[in-house]
Amino acid sequence: MNNVIKKRGLSPIIATILLIALVIIIALIAFQWIRSFTKEAITKFDGTNINLVCNDVQFDASYSNGNLVISNTGEVPIYDFNLKSESPGGDETNDLKTLDPEWSGIMPGGSFSKDVSIQSDATKITLIPILLGVNKDGEQKTQVCDEKNGKEIFI
């Protein structure tokens, strides 16, 4: 008589459960990876995406003898500005809140005038608006608009 050892593999039910679990894990990993490419949606006013509101920002600005003057001529409150000063030695970017602790934003129709120090050899300043909106959880978040929404001031 042959002594044949019977080897048993995984039962079909256990193999099916393991395959389903593997597919679910791979799907979750792919979902998280794809989700990392999307930005958190920040909205303003009536639920409009804040990037679209950036196109509606209107302001005038001038810089003379160290004095920066900004007037909000549009209908969008401006929370802050990135001040990008360009010089032959390179660029430097600061937000206005850092340069002036008293800064509190500019409401529509409002203006701001203050002595602000920038690079001494700067040839151009670009003011890039920063808006305040809310995310889906209701938390306030800032959004820096594109540089195309800013204003260039030649010194």
Look at 15 and 22; give whichever has higher pLDDT: 22
> For residue 5, what pLDDT band results from cuts at 50, 70 and 90?
low
Same-domain pairing of 21 and 77: no
User: Which residue in 17, 125, 150 sits closest to 67, CA to CA?
Assistant: 125
pLDDT digits over 77-121, tens only?
999 999 998 888 888 888 888 888 888 899 999 999 988 877 778
Give the three-class secondary structure for 48. Answer: strand
Same-domain pairing of 131 and 68: yes
Domain containing 71 equals: 43-154
Same-domain pairing of 54 and 35: no
Same-domain pairing of 28 and 90: no
Same-domain pairing of 64 and 16: no
> For residue 2, what pLDDT band results from cuts at 50, 70 and 90?
low
Is pTM beyond 0.75? Reply is: no
Same-domain pairing of 67 and 24: no
**150: pLDDT strictly greater than 80:** yes
Predicted pLDDT at 137: 81
What span, in angstroms and rounded, lies between the C-alpha atoms of 43 and 71? 24
Provide, rounded to the nearest whole percent, the portion of the chain with pLDDT above 70: 88
pLDDT digits over 59-81, tens only?
999 988 888 899 999 999 999 99
Q: What does the radius of gyration of the chain's CA atoms come to, in whole angstroms? A: 28
Residue 47 lies in a domain: yes
Predicted pLDDT at 110: 94
**48: pLDDT strictly greater than 90:** no
> For residue 39, what pLDDT band results from cuts at 50, 70 and 90?
low
Count of domains observed in the chain: 2
Residue 127 lies in a domain: yes
Same-domain pairing of 85 and 141: yes
User: 20-29: which pairs have CB atoms within 8 A and are 24 or more residues apart?
Assistant: none
Same-domain pairing of 16 and 55: no
Residue 4 lies in a domain: no
Residue 5 lies in a domain: no
What span, in angstroms and rounded, lies between the C-alpha atoms of 82 and 24? 44
Residue 2 lies in a domain: no
